[in-house]
Amino acid sequence: MRSKINVQLNKSTLIRRTLSTTEVTAETIITNSVTPSVVDNENERASQNGKCNNCCGGHNIEESKILKSILSNVIAVKKMLEYQEKENQRTLNNKHNETVVTNFDLVLGKAFSKFRKLQKFDEKLRTDENARCQNEAALFLLGGATPKELIRRGLKNIFSDKLAMKCSWTGRKNNFVLSQLKILDILKVAVRRKFGAFTDSEFQSELGLWFRQAKLRFDRSRQKERQDENINEDLQ
C-alpha cells in the first residue's frame, strides 16, 4: 500500500511540474502575442497590404483567447493534482500511524466502575506513547456507521453506567470532571480519523447526552437483572 501511494505521489509531482512549465509557457505566449513589437510588425505589414491587416488582427485575438483557455484548464488541473497529492500524503501518514500498533497489551480491559482506577489508567496514556497509540487504534476499530455510534461504543467501553452517573464534563454537582481526561481526547481523535471533520462542540454534545442518560440505562439494567433472577427462581 505504501509503495502504491509513493508511486502516486511521484506521478502527481511529475505531472504538477510539467503543468507548471506549461503554465509559464502559456503565459509567455499570451504576453508575447500582445506585446508592442508584435503590434508594430502587424501595422507594418498592414501598411503594405491593407487587406491583410484586419485578418491578422483577428487571428491574434482568437489565438490569445485559445491560449487563455488552455492556461485556465492547466491551472484547474494543477489545483486538482495538488489536492490529490495532499490526500495521498494524508493516507500515507494514517498508514504509518497504524503500523505503530503491533499488539494491544496496554488496551483497557473492561469498563471502569471506579474513577480512581480510570485516573490511574489515564495517567499512563499521558506518559506512554505506545499505550496511547494502542488505545486509539482499539477505539477506532470499534467501528460504527456514524460518529455518534462510534462515540457511544467507545464510552461504553470506558465507563460503566454506575461510574457514568457520577461524571459530568465540568464536574458540576460534585461529579467527577471529564474535560481533563486523556482517554476522551484519544476517542475524539479516533472519531475524526474515521469520519473526518467533527467539531469539539459536536463531540461534547454527544458526550453530554450519553452521560445524562447513564442513570436511565443503569436503572433499566438493574430492573432486567431482577426480572432474570425472578425467572430463574421460578424455574427452580
Pairwise CA distance, residues 167 & 50, whole Å: 90
Report the pLDDT value the prediction gives residue 205, as an integer from 0 to 100: 95
pLDDT score of 29? 47
Answer yes or no: is pLDDT of 223 > 60.
Answer: yes
pLDDT over 80 (residue 176): yes
**Do both 67 and 93 map to the same domain?**
yes
Are 180 and 216 in a shared domain? yes
Q: Which domain holds residue 32?
A: 2-100
pLDDT tens-digit profile of 98-140? 544 556 667 888 899 999 999 999 999 999 999 999 999 999 9
* Average pLDDT score over residue span 213-233: 88
In terms of domains, do 50 and 138 share one? no
**Is 83 a residue whose pLDDT tops 80?**
no
User: How far is CA 230 from each of CA 192, 216, 221, 222, 233, rounded to the nearest angstrom?
Assistant: 45, 21, 14, 12, 5
Confidence (pTM)? 0.56
Q: Say yes or no to pLDDT of 9 above 50.
A: no
Question: Does residue 105 form part of some domain?
Answer: no
Residues 6+ away with beta carbon under 8 Å from 5:
88, 91, 92, 95
213 and 137 share one domain: yes
Does a structural domain hold residue 63? yes
Examine residue 179 and state whether it is found in any structural domain, yes or no.
yes
Residue 48 sits in the same domain as residue 123: no
Q: Are residues 182 and 147 in the same domain?
A: yes
**Count of domains in the chain?**
2
